[in-house]
Amino acid sequence: MSRRQAALLALALAAISVALGVFKLARREYPLTAVDALNRTVVVPAKPSRVVSVAPSITEIVFALGAQDRLVGVTSFCDYPPQLKKLVESGKIAVVGGWWDPSLEKIVSLSPDLVLLDSGVGYHAELAKRLEEQGIPAYALKKGVTLNEVYENIRAVGELLGCREKAEELIKSMERRLSWVREKVAGREKAGVMYVLWLNPLSTAGGGTFLSEIAEVAGGYNVFSDMQGWPNPSLEEVLARKPDIIVITAGMMKEKPEDILEKLKGDPVWKLVPAVAEGRVYFISGQAENAFLRPGPRLAEAAELLAKMVHPEAFGVKLPLVIGDDYSRYITQLGGELSYRLWLHVPAVMATAGT
């Protein structure tokens, strides 16, 4: 390429950058028009001041963006960050029903100017239509199956609420933590990871999911990455794939971790699985479980927890086999991340690490 061609290319790229910049600025102006995950065109007339979130992960995103003062309604499943409970108890935020079956009447009674829905929940599509009939803007976010979809949801909420810069800061904060984890485990032998979402019938996380992605970030690999989505493998398939680490979402099973572990050790097949035989079965419940399973800002923290299970020697820590609501005590405070951790209102007590 000649100097003249290089100069022309540089000018063209600069022009494109300017054009994109103007486009982004224009998108921030209200009324704002956007197409949601249900392929619906949604018009938000003015900057929302009364927002209803109909999914726990969406509520966490709103808090992470510092827009919790605009929330007027959440579901009974929304339980994080900790200060949310006080806001609900004080009456500042109302509960509109369950995640799967929110009440249209309750939502309408709050006079919201924006309702944020989860396209992964079947009833939310019907709810979106009925809210539209009431003249209430309702935007359905993506299912959040992958990390990229989680980032897209954060950007969408930031755009809708008029805090796009904060959304980008939040994404960068997540990416910094993920990069830090990758660096800590770089060069170490990858361990096979298996998630147990349910024992009977057996359910796990396959490829194309954020759980599979964070296994890679953590210096491991998902032993069921060749099965897409949320497969139901046989015990024989588990034994054949020899997972080194098993992470069980114990909170969903309503059984004590020690009881589950005894069942595994006493089973003629499970006891032969390396993770069970070597005592590397971890149980996550409460907010630790939510950090892993909700497609929101805490997935980067879940990746760090998993990395400390897979490669404890890389971090100089040994996690307990049962981790619950106090999981944040095992999360490292990274330099330059204060603005992100403020929304948690839970101090990290691990040693500060540089970025």
| CATH number, position 204 | 3.40.50.1980
Q: Do 299 and 220 share a domain, yes or no? A: yes
Domain range spanning residue 100? 22-162
Determine, yes or no, domain membership for 4. no
Burial of 237 (0-12, 13-18, 19+ CB in 10 A): middle
Which DSSP state fits 202? Answer: E
Between 270 and 333, whose confidence is greater?
A: 270
Domain final residue pick, 145, 162, 179: 162
Least Cα distance to 119 among 169, 54, 181 occurs for 54
Least Cα distance to 312 among 219, 224, 180, 222 occurs for 219
Q: Do 192 and 146 share a domain, yes or no? A: no
8 A C-beta contact, residue 186 and residue 218 = no
Q: Do 32 and 158 share a domain, yes or no? A: yes
Q: Do 243 and 199 share a domain, yes or no? A: yes
Across the range 274-285, mean pLDDT stands at 96
What is the number of domains present in the chain? 2
Least Cα distance to 321 among 308, 303, 336, 338 occurs for 308
Determine, yes or no, domain membership for 172. no
What per-residue confidence (pLDDT) applies to 336?
53
Q: Do 154 and 203 share a domain, yes or no? A: no
Give the integer Cα–Cα distance in Å for 234 and 228.
Answer: 15
Determine, yes or no, domain membership for 133. yes
What per-residue confidence (pLDDT) applies to 251?
78
What is the C-alpha R_g of the chain? 22
Across the range 120-142, mean pLDDT stands at 96
pLDDT at 250 over 90: no
Tokens of residue 269, six digits: 């097949």
Least Cα distance to 328 among 296, 304, 354 occurs for 304
Determine, yes or no, domain membership for 113. yes
pLDDT at 150 over 90: yes
Give the integer Cα–Cα distance in Å for 51 and 73.
Answer: 7
